[in-house]
Amino acid sequence: MKKELLMGTALVSTLGAASVAEAVTATMSGNHQTGMEFDSPTGGTDTNAQINDNNFTVSLSETTDGGMTISSSFKLMDENSGSGDVDAGFTLAFTDGSKLDLIAAGNASGSHAVSVPGSAGAEGVATTSTNAAETGLDFGAASSTLGFEYHTAADFFADGLKMSFSASTDSGADNTATYRVDSHLALGATYVTDLGDSTLTLGGGISQADGSKTGATAVTNDTNGYHVGLSAVTGDLTVAVGFADGDKAGVGLSSANEITADVMKAGVKYVSGDLTFNVGIASGDAQDNTIGSSGGSDDAKDVTSASVSYAVASGVTAILGYTSLEASDEGASTDDGSAWYIGANMAF
């Protein structure tokens, strides 16, 4: 009997210790968006399809006795397409307001890309796989999973200034015919200030990545780039512009090419009660050549998009979106068209 009591006491003590060790605060968030897209390519057949975007994220955090917060998260993403868990690394938030992201930390340049309004819908017009033009500001922000990003506290050196620095190293994966990121260094900054009734946000970043690929042709132009953007918010009105320029080598389907690209974006968002209106444009040009060569004709994408969103209820938003695309590949017009989207998003 005495032995059984001792075993019971040990078990209770073990369970108690385990419950303390696992006392991490967990929160859940996500969204379910579904709707119909109607695609009308200029040189093809009209199509329609259901578009789903289902996200479920679990965030975990706990604070040490010294005041440092340790957090991480994992995400079940796009259930409709069968994607699996997408695991984040760890974030250490310090008492001075700075923080450090570890493992799959990303790229500091991309972290400071200014958000430029565009359609809130899920519509899009597909282009040929050889069209190398970009439409995002952070297309040059490459990194590997073995890295970190350090974020300064607010008001770093000046009121309204925040900065971050990131670096990563070889992931250990085998080389393939597609360009692989071996390392990167990046720097980004965001400055926020008031100008009369408006709040101005200026963001920018620069990134340099080194990589490798198999084959007799050496990589001569690694992925790198910079971007700058400006956003102004006056009451319910947001106006933003951005510009990016960079190079890519042996990326994706263009694994034998080096690419020089630039992007210009502008957009406006206006909120009126339960209605939100978005209008945006994006123009991208690129020149892709076999690694080590030069010349050739430009690829281009010119995108115009708009949407109207209506807050039906708390967490429920109805969306009507439209996108028009003019594209060219090697100087020849191709894959022009337009697309509509109608659907709803439920967020929690």
Read off the pLDDT of residues 284-338 as tens digits, 9 standing for 90 and up.
988 877 665 666 678 889 999 999 999 999 999 999 999 999 988 876 777 789 9
pLDDT, residue 89, reads 87
> Scanning the structure block, which residue is given the tokens 């003590």?
13
- 58, 71 Cβ separation under 8 angstroms: no
Comparing CA positions, the residue from 259, 180, 182, 258 lying closest to residue 213 is 180
Tokens of residue 133, six digits? 């033009």
Residue 55 within a domain = no
Residue 143 within a domain = yes
Q: Residue 122's domain is classified under what CATH number?
A: 2.40.160.10
Rounded to the nearest 5°, which phi and psi values hold at 316?
A: -115, 125
Say how far apart CA 74 and CA 83 lie, in whole Å: 13
pLDDT, residue 219, reads 65
Residues of the chain with pLDDT under 70: 1-22, 77-87, 215-221, 250-257, 290-296, 331
Residue 3 within a domain = no
Tokens of residue 25, six digits? 């605060």
pLDDT, residue 5, reads 39
Query: Strands 337-347 and 237-251: what pairing?
Result: unpaired
Say how far apart CA 181 and CA 141 lie, in whole Å: 11
pLDDT, residue 15, reads 41
pLDDT, residue 104, reads 87
Residue 58 within a domain = no
Number of domains in the chain: 1
Question: For 223-240, what is each residue's pLDDT tens digit?
Answer: 889 999 999 999 999 999
pLDDT, residue 35, reads 96
Domain span holding position 223: 89-347
Say how far apart CA 157 and CA 163 lie, in whole Å: 10
- Give the three-class secondary structure for 257: strand
**Cα angle vertex 28, ends 27, 33, to 5°?**
160
Residue 183 within a domain = yes
Say how far apart CA 130 and CA 330 lie, in whole Å: 9
DSSP 111: H
Rounded to the nearest 5°, which phi and psi values hold at 334?
A: -160, 150
Residue 135 within a domain = yes
**Cα angle vertex 146, ends 97, 101, to 5°?**
10
- 240, 230 Cβ separation under 8 angstroms: yes
Residue 2 within a domain = no
Residue 30 within a domain = no
Comparing CA positions, the residue from 180, 183, 176 lying closest to residue 146 is 183
